Amino acid sequence: MEEPEPGRTQARRRSRGRFAALWVACVLAACGPRKAPEPSVPPPPRLSAAQVARLLPQKVEDREGWARDILAALEAEEIAPSPPAVCSVIAVIEQESGFKSDPAVAGLPAMVRSRLEAHADKLGPLGRKALSSVLEGRSPGQKRTFDERLRTVRTERDLDRLFRDILAYYEDEYPKTYAMAEMASHIFASGSLEDLNPITTAGSMQVSVRYAMEKEGEDADPVEVRESLYTRAGGVRYGTARLLDYEASYPEPLFRFADYNAGLYASRNAALQVQVTRLTGISLVPDGDLQLYDKNGEPLDEDSNSLKALLAFRKRYVPEELSERQVRRDVRKEKELDFESTDTFRAVKRVYARETGETPAYAQLPQVTLKSPKLKGERTTAWFARSVDARFQRCQARYRDMAK
């Protein structure tokens, strides 16, 4: 998964069992209002491992193994293995990795070397010398130097392990001459090392490493979490949780696929941004973020354009109902389901319906341009969501054929 700007991956644990029934019902019934009471719809079928294996694309190897891991991931999140849920996971795996647990990245050695050299150049004339010195080292028991290993890295796991070995070498083995050690500390300190690693998502579903760490909690071992992401079972487990383990009233899976790329509730928030733009005349990019975030996904103190527009909306339409403090407090919940229950969210929807005579949309595809060294050419969240949705529809068609 290619990551957009920071802040889109921040998550809060959701209650799990309620999501499956709500979302599957929306998929099957199109979330439309009913004119009269109807008999309750029976729950969708629960797929077996053999059935899931038959839903996988034709060229997938070890179909039974993938099927077992998909079912285990759904069970871990207490989500019923219904056709829509299973096909959602299958579609994302196919899009992100083509069913490779540790996918290769084209041009990875050159990509990483370029980043390291650019960073070293910023440190002055000793920067390149310090970099070369460290890359000439090797881990205990390794015949190849770090430089030789860098030339042959193919996958995200190769690179991740190399970076960890370099850091361990720097901390334990690197010569302690003052000038070189000082320069190397700028290049290979833990924070800088992480920043220089171009791989921020990993595994068959390209899950954010940050998300996986947050899911496991503060006491999690970063090495164990990263290594788990590179396994088939671990990549599917984290990816399934990121994709399905939150509630949203989306009318179709397309918007959940967009959220997988752009962040929790990005599609819902993008619709709100469009509505605020129409009400205030303030042009906003509907990217799904109502706040500004730092590189670690933490909100900044600076007001975003979306927040400024919401404050203008308050002043023009509901000055007696909403205070500025309330708007600011509500916006902090933008990555939560509870945002929909805030006075600010409800006021925008109510005023939009009154002023335009239209029913306000719950969701819209966010406008986010993807930035990643893994991508060739410009891609957007809308492109990603539609591509995944096409795979989802093909999986659903395979299920219908199988059920005949």
At residue 331 the predicted structure's pLDDT band, cuts being 50, 70 and 90, is very high
CA dist 110 and 150 (Å) reads 9
Question: Considering only 46-50, 286-290, 294-298, 324-328, which range has the smallest mean pLDDT?
Answer: 294-298
What is the rounded average pLDDT of the residues 201-223?
91
Asked if pLDDT for residue 45 goes beyond 70, the answer is yes
CA dist 144 and 148 (Å) reads 6
Asked if pLDDT for residue 130 goes beyond 90, the answer is no
Q: How remote is the C-alpha of 181 from its chain's centroid?
A: 36
CA dist 2 and 33 (Å) reads 36
Residues facing residue 369 across a β-bridge: 380
Asked if pLDDT for residue 168 goes beyond 50, the answer is yes
Asked if pLDDT for residue 25 goes beyond 70, the answer is no
Residue 184 tokens read as: 């190397």
With residue 122 as reference, give the H or E element that holds it: none
Asked if pLDDT for residue 23 goes beyond 80, the answer is no
- Whole-number pLDDT of residue 184: 59
Cβ-based burial of 200 (10 A; exposed 0-12, middle 13-18, buried ≥19): buried
Residue 61 tokens read as: 């190897």
- Give every CB contact of residue 41 below 8 A, 6+ residues apart in sequence: 25, 28, 29
Asked if pLDDT for residue 221 goes beyond 50, the answer is yes
- Whole-number pLDDT of residue 404: 84
CA dist 82 and 87 (Å) reads 8
| More confident of the two residues 121 and 372 | 121
Evaluate whether 290 touches 307 at the Cβ level (below 8 Å): yes
| More confident of the two residues 383 and 105 | 383
- Whole-number pLDDT of residue 167: 77
Residue 151 tokens read as: 């030339």
What is the rounded average pLDDT of the residues 309-337?
98
What is the rounded average pLDDT of the residues 46-59?
97
Q: Where are the domains of the chain?
A: 17-103+202-251+378-403, 108-198, 263-356
CA dist 87 and 121 (Å) reads 47
Strongest mean pLDDT among 28-32, 68-72, 110-114, 133-137: 68-72
CA dist 124 and 183 (Å) reads 9
- Residue 252: C-alpha distances to residues 2, 152, 231 (Å): 22, 43, 30
DSSP 40: P
- Whole-number pLDDT of residue 194: 56
Question: Considering only 56-60, 109-113, 124-128, which range has the smallest mean pLDDT?
Answer: 124-128
What is the rounded average pLDDT of the residues 272-280?
99
Asked if pLDDT for residue 78 goes beyond 90, the answer is yes
- Whole-number pLDDT of residue 44: 81
**What is the percentage of the chain residues whose pLDDT exceeds 70?**
82
pTM higher than 0.85 for the full model? no
CA dist 338 and 307 (Å) reads 18
3-state secondary structure string, 258-306?
Answer: HHHHHCCCHHHHHHHHHHHHHHHCCCCCCCCCCCCECCCCCECCCCCHH
Asked if pLDDT for residue 326 goes beyond 90, the answer is yes
- Whole-number pLDDT of residue 377: 66
- Whole-number pLDDT of residue 7: 53
Backbone CA torsion sign across 332, 89, 375, 104:
positive
CA dist 204 and 220 (Å) reads 21
CA dist 23 and 256 (Å) reads 10
pLDDT in tens, 184-211: 556 655 445 556 666 778 999 999 989 9
Pure H helices in 98-189: 108-121, 125-135, 146-152, 156-172, 178-188
Please count the residues of the chain: 404
Asked if pLDDT for residue 131 goes beyond 70, the answer is yes
What is the rounded average pLDDT of the residues 254-264?
98
